[in-house]
Amino acid sequence: MSLTAEDVVGVLAIMAGDEKYKISCNTRSRWKDGLLTGAAATVGGVCGGPAGAVLGGFIGGTMAAWNRKDIETPLDKYLIDMGREERQKLFIYMKYLVDECKVTNVVGLNAKLATDASIRRRFIDVLLCYLKTEKGFKVIAS
């Protein structure tokens, strides 16, 4: 029985839970924040002239910064909740490491990662690289 994407992602979730990593993603995009600031400055300028534009820009910028919250999620929870297509993409991204381990099932992979600290570190590093480059997440070590 060969390894599947679900097997590899499950093992990665266990390792991420052990390391206590969290991921952070922004809830809003930057252009929406700029639009909010610009709209507030425009309204302030129409209502109060140049001083109103400055005050409106300040208030709009402050509101945009306050609304720009980062949502932190435990990495193991994110991995468990991944969709089938996302799991498959992550599996393809990590396939060369799985092939390097020369194991055929999840028990063998788990044993290999438990006994070899360097390969375990490489799995974590590739996972973090995937999350940063492909998904654009910030990874926080707790």
**Percentage of the chain exceeding pLDDT 90:** 0
Cβ neighbours for 37, distance < 8 A, ≥ 6 positions apart: 57, 60, 61, 64
Domain ranges of the chain: 5-26+70-141, 28-68
Residue 109 confidence class, pLDDT cut points 50, 70, 90 = confident
Q: What is the mean pLDDT of residues 83-90?
A: 86
d(CA 10, CA 131): 16
Please give the model's pTM, rounded to 2 decimal places. Answer: 0.66
Q: What letters, b where the CB count within 10 A reaches 16 and e where it falls short, cover 72-92?
A: eebbbebbeebeeebbebbbe
Q: What is the mean pLDDT of residues 26-49?
A: 75
- Give kind and range of the element (H or E) at residue 69: none
Is the predicted pLDDT of residue 89 greater than 60, yes or no?
A: yes
d(CA 5, CA 70): 29
Half-sphere exposure of residue 78: CA atoms within 13 angstroms, side-chain side = 21
Q: Are 19 and 121 in contact (CB under 8 A)?
A: no
Q: Are 40 and 63 in contact (CB under 8 A)?
A: yes
Is the predicted pLDDT of residue 121 greater than 70, yes or no?
A: yes
Which tens digit of pLDDT belongs to each residue from 3-33?
777 888 888 888 887 878 777 765 556 667 7
Task: State residue 76 phi and psi, 5-degree precision.
Answer: -65, -35
Is the predicted pLDDT of residue 68 greater than 80, yes or no?
A: no
Please return the burial class of 31, using the count of CB atoms within 10 Å of its CB with bins 0-12, 13-18 and 19+. exposed
